[in-house]
Structures are given as C-alpha cells and as structure tokens.
Structure 1
Amino acid sequence: MKNFVILVFGFAAVLASPVMAQAQDHVMRISHQFPPTHHTAIRLEKFAEDVETATEGAVDVQIFGSAQLYKPQQNHAAVASGEIEAAAIVNLQWGGTIPEMAVTVIPYLMTSPQAQKSFIGSEASEILDGKMAERGVQNIGWIVDTNDLIFTSSKGLMVKPEDFQGVKIRGLTPLFDEGLKALGATPVQLPGSEVYQALQTAVIDAGVTGVSAAFTRKFYEVQDYGTASPIFVAFDNLVVNPAWWNDLPEGIRTAIQTAADAAVESSIITYDGINPDDVTALTGAGMKVHVLNDAEISVLREIMQPAVKEAFLAETGEDGEKLISLISAE
C-alpha cells in the first residue's frame, strides 16, 4: 500500500500505511516553500539522503516542497503544534513573531563570507535559536539562502539614490522597505508569484530579488536593467518539533544534526561580492547588469542602514542592540 496525501480545504495530512510504519522506525516530514530547482530545496534532498544513509533507513525523510502542505506563513504553527515534524522557514518571514530575526536584513551588516561563518554558532545565533525555542520550535540549521539582491528595471540602472526617487518597487519586508523608502522609492507588497506579471504590466516600476532568482524567475524577459549588490543575508531555518526531537534516540538525533550541519556548511557563500556566474546568466539572456562598486555601496549604505536600524531597534529594544553589537564585532 502506498502513502496517501489528503488535501482538505488547504489543510494537508499525510497518512502512512501499516506496512510503511513497520519499514521505518521514524518519519521526518519537512515542509518548505521552495521550487525543486532552488538551492535550499536541493540541499534538503541531499540532507534526506544523508539521514537515511546514516540511520540505515531507520528515518524516512519525506520532503514536501513548493508549499504543497502549508503556505510559508503556516509552517511555524504546523511544526510547533506537531502537525508536522519539521520545516524550512526563511528567516525574513518571522516578522512580528520574532522581530529580532530581522537583524540579518539590516543592509550591509553581515554580507561577507567571513561574517556568515562567524554568525553560525555564535552567541548572536544562539540568542535567536532561543527566541525560536520560546515560540515552540527548535532550530537545527542556519542554511544560507542568499547574500545578494538585484534591483531590476525596464527604464535604466538603479545605482544612485536619485535613481530610486518615486520608483514603485516590489518590497521585501516591512523592515527592509524602510531602507527603500529612505532612498525615495515606494515599496509595494506583492507575493513572489505575482511579481513577474506586475513588472510586465507596469503595475510596479522595479523589482528586487536575489541575483540567481532573477534568472530562474525570468525577470530578464520583462526588465532590461539590473543593479546587483551583496546587501543582506537571508537564512533558511531548518526547525523541528521539540517533543518529536527529544523523543528520538540519541544516535538518531546525532545523525540528523550531522546531516543538517553538512547542509549548512555547503550553503555558506565562499566568494566576495556577486557570483559572476549569476551575472553571466542574466547578461547572456539580454539583461544589462551593473555590480555596485565599494564607493557606490557606501552611498547606499549611509542612507539605507540607519533607516532600517532605527526601525529594527524600535521593535526589538535592548535585545536588538545586543544582536547588532555582537554581529558588528564578529
């Protein structure tokens, strides 16, 4: 008998047959929003293979990507309640639930490879692990999603602050959007699935996304120009249900954690600046791409960073101050 996935009014439950229950001692269902070609989706597939190999099949890792089971905003509650064992959640999506998680969104605070490596396992990351634990999930991995963004436009390159004046641009998060507002732009909140059409029909003037994502989402078909820069780091947190996690035999937990650590290690960006292969992909598709130099970055940083920091500290207070101090010192 095969596994069945039952969808009822958007709610998903996975029922395993008695045969399957006997074949594996433990089931680890992971929900995430990423399409199959996304680098985190690929890493999670490798994670599943590593776990099943290390446990000799005692753990059946079942991955449900592309928001098959839950919408991105539902993953936290699903794991915390025990409806599912695990999920990968983009740290930008914790929003008002854990406002301190947005510290990585502060422009130009921690974009270098060394800053990423220093953060993982640091006091700052442990503080945020604790914040997640307080809200019912245990984080077992800080998987690096991206450290770059590209501002796309059909009218021209967006390099200087004046290039952003009056531009309707796709926003990312309310916090990061404070930086866009400081540049004179007007952020518009849109789901990722609607951005291409909004750009195509000029509902918005400009887009903002990861450099590699601009290619996979085919922004080059509707946008002639792109301005790329390493602005902030986005992480995908691999979180598990604490009760499920603590009930696992120690050897099984160790195998899962080792596989998660390997996924994190493989995700750390090792190059400074923008991946030239991502730029080549976009230029080869016809987009004119400019990578900001240090002087150009300095101008944007001086405008964007204070605005985002102010908004961040208004929400997080002393904890936010401590996180910024710790990350700045790393």
Structure 2
Amino acid sequence: MHAPDVEPWNEEYLWAVEEASGGQIKINILWAGEHPYKWADMLAVCRARLVDGVSSQLSLYTSATEPIVALLDLPFIWTSPDEFWDLYNSDEFADLREALLNSIWEKWNQVELVSVAAGVYVFTADRFVEDWDSLKGVRIRSYTKEFDKMIQTLNGTPVSLSWGDVYPALQRDIVDGWVTNIAAPYGAGWYEIEGMNRTTVANFALGLYSTTINKDAWDELPPDLQEVFRKVAADQSEMLLGVMLQDNKDALWLAMKEYDVRFAFMPPAFGEEARSAMKHSIWDPWAQEVGGEAAELLQRVEEFHAEWIKR
C-alpha cells in the first residue's frame, strides 16, 4: 500500500476486518518504502506469496503484465466515479468482470477482497488546463504508457517518475506538475512546492482500486473468518467510496487554505474535445494492440457511456 495519508480508506477496511474478527485476524500492513517490491510486480509478488495480499490500482500498475485490464483506466473513458461505479455494480458488468478481473485473479492465484472506484483525477501545475495550448511546454509526471499518450495528446510533455521521485523532481525543476487525484499529492506534500497552485478538475475518472489475497492463504482461513472479510467488504464498499471521495474534497479544501491553491473545472466543451481525441490517440490503438476481445469490450464500455449520459 502507498502510505496511510495517501489511501486511508483502504486502511479503514483492514482495521474493520480485524475488529470484526474479534482479534482472530491480525493484518501487518507494509507501506511503500517498507517492502522492496515494485507496483508493477504486485500480482507476481502475491502469487509467489512473498506477501499474503496486495492493494493497488489494478490496471495502472499491472497493465504491462495484463494489458486487457488497462481498459479500466484508459484516460477520459470514465467521466466520473459515479459512471464507473454504476457500471461496476450493474448486470452488464457480469461478463466484463469475467474477462477483466476473474480470469486474472485465477491466473495469478488471488481472491478479490474489496474494490472501490479510484476517483476523479486532476491536473496540477502553475496553470489551469483550459484548452489545447495550456500544457504546451509543460512537463507533467506520468507513470503509465497510456498516461504518456494522454499528456502528449493534450500537447504536454510526459515525464515518467515513480511516486517517491516526484517530490524531489518538483524541487529540482525536473517536472512542472502532475495528474492524479487530490488527496494523495496533498498527503505526500507536493502542494508545498512553490508554483503548484492551480488544480484543474478534469472530466475523467479512473477505474478500480482492489485489495486481493493469495488464494492459498485464503483457503487456509476457516470459513467463519473468510465470511468476516466478505461481510465487511459488503457492508463497507459504498462507504469506502464515500470516504475516498470525501478525502479528496477535504484535501482540496486544505490545499486551498494552506497553500493558496486555486481550482477550476475543465471547460465542458474542451473536455468533450479531449475525450474524443483520446479515443483516436489511445483507446482505439490500445484495442488494436491488445487484440482478442479488447475491441469488443471497448465498444461495450462506449455503449454503456452513451446510455449513461442520457440519465
């Protein structure tokens, strides 16, 4: 897991499991920096049972290993966490789940414990992102191939950096800003850096943040303790989404108060133009590159969006 100030909602789920078990379950959390593993290797790390479970943003950190799951986080494919969460909890997602999640959990010997929508993403730099000229000459931190293409499509310059390298890179003027949520950078202190005071709320959200457990470790648990994990997940999934969204709202308010950060929403017309551009520069090439059922799955997600925006 990243750090307690980055994803407190996830820690709350694990605490709730411990409490509901009456002390029978003890979970030792290893935060980033407390383990030697890279995020991209988490599926393999969990399968090898170097740890018993992992929590990560599935498609962002594992799409190099399992390219099909990048569909969940293609830039601008979801216009809000509500859109993704509605699909995730719908009947339409049943067979999508089989292709995108269940088959991958089985392949990597894992059981999904709880998942939550990853939330709204924002651009932060010394300027707002309002049009096609806003990011010209601006170096934006990236961490996936798809994000590289998104930043390039918006006429910015992607700079690939791991999470721990961002703060010193901002200090040394290696990068001019970032794109991620609000709570995580606030917790990591990025808003402290001079000039990082303009946050643009984009009309896109990312997909799934999942916590999984090694299946062998799961099978070793007695049925009553397995039920504890399931029941807490069922009881808290909606609450965890609310906590995550509230964390971002609180972080934005604190950033405004403490660092004089100003925020604006991406102009709707430009947001639609950007979304259309992403389809041509990222979504369609992704489907062609991945092959198999990727194009069909992408089409179904686009059809869901077309119906969802009519509501």
Do these two structures clear the TM 0.5 threshold for a shared fold by scoring above it?
yes
Greater shift in the superposed pair: 98-107 or 227-236: 227-236
Aligned counterpart, 1:15 = none
Of residues 74, 98, 103, the one that matches 2:66 is: 98
The correspondence of residues 156-167 of structure 1 with structure 2, limited to 5 A, is 156-167=127-138
1:318 maps to 2:287: no
2:238 paired residue number = 265
CA-to-partner distance for each residue in 1:205-227, whole Å, 9 max, x for gaps? 33222122332233333223222
- Cα RMSD between the aligned structures? 2.7
Question: Partners in 2 of 1:325 and 1:94 — Cα distance?
Answer: 22
Match of 1:86 among 45, 49, 53: 53
Equivalent AA in structure 2 for residue 165 of structure 1: K
After superposition, the Cα gap between the structure-2 partners of 1:296 and 1:275, relative to the gap in structure 1 and judged at 3 Å, is farther
1:119 touches 1:327 (CA, 8 Å); kept in 2?
no
**Counterparts of 1:200 and 1:186, CA distance in 2:** 18
Q: Any residues of structure 2 matched to 1:206-225 within 5 Å, and which?
A: 206-220=177-191, 221-222=193-194, 223-225=196-198
CA contact (8 A) 1:151 1:158 kept: yes
* Mapped partners of 1:275, 1:68: distance in 2: 25
Secondary structure of the equivalent of 2:199? strand
What one-letter code is carried by the residue in structure 1 that aligns with 2:295?
E
Question: Which structure 1 residue ranges, 5 or more long, are not aligned?
Answer: 1-31
Q: Unaligned regions of 5+ residues in structure 2, if any?
A: 305-311
Alignment partners' CA distance in 1, 2:5 and 2:250:
16
Does structure 1 retain, via aligned residues, the 8 Å contact 2:84–2:117? no
C-alpha spacing 1:54/1:202, structure 2 compared with 1 (3 Å): closer
* Equivalent in the alignment of 2:114: 141
Distance 1:243 1:214, change over 3 A: closer
SS across alignment from 2:146: helix
CA apart distance, 1:313: 0.8
- Where 2:134 maps in the other structure, the secondary structure is helix
CA distance in 2, matches of 1:281, 1:329: 38
Counterpart of 2:273, as a letter, is: V
Task: Assess, with a 3 A threshold, how the Cα gap between structure 1 residues 170 and 50 changes in structure 2: closer, same or farther.
Answer: closer
Aligned to 1:7: none
Further displaced range: 216-225 or 249-258: 216-225
Structure 1 residue identity aligned to 2:76? Y
1:188 and 1:51 mapped to 2: Cα distance? 39
CA distance in 1, matches of 2:13, 2:273: 40
What letter corresponds to residue 80 of structure 1 in structure 2?
Answer: R
CA spacing shift, 1:127–1:263, aligned 2, 3 Å:
farther
Pairing partner for 2:84 from 110, 115, 133 = 115
Matched, 1:152 2:124: yes
Does the CA-based 8 Å contact 1:168-1:187 persist in structure 2? yes
Counterpart in 1 of 2:283? 309
8 Å contact from structure 2 (residues 5, 188) kept in 1: no
Counterpart CA distance in 1 for 2:26 and 2:243 is: 32
TM-score normalised to the size of structure 2? 0.83
Counterparts of 1:62 and 1:262, CA distance in 2: 22
- 1:10 match: none
Counterpart of 1:202 in structure 2 is 173
Aligned to 1:3: none
| Aligned position for 1:244 | 217
Letter in 2 for 1:295: A
- Report the counterpart of residue 287 of structure 1 in structure 2: 261
How far residue 278 of structure 1 moved from its aligned partner, in angstroms, is 4.1
Do 2:84 and 2:207's aligned partners in 1 also have CA atoms closer than 8 Å? no
> Partner amino acid for 1:232?
A
Q: Structure 1 residues 241 and 299 mapped into 2: Cα distance closer, same or farther (>3 Å)?
A: same
Q: How many residues align?
A: 293
- The aligned counterpart of 2:31 is 65
Task: Tell me the alpha carbon deviations over residues 64-122 of structure 1, each in whole angstroms, 9 at most, x when there is no partner.
Answer: 22341342334322210123221112211002211111112223322241431321472
Contact 2:181 2:248 in 1 (8 A): no
Larger radius of gyration: 1
Structure having the larger proportion of residues in helix: 2
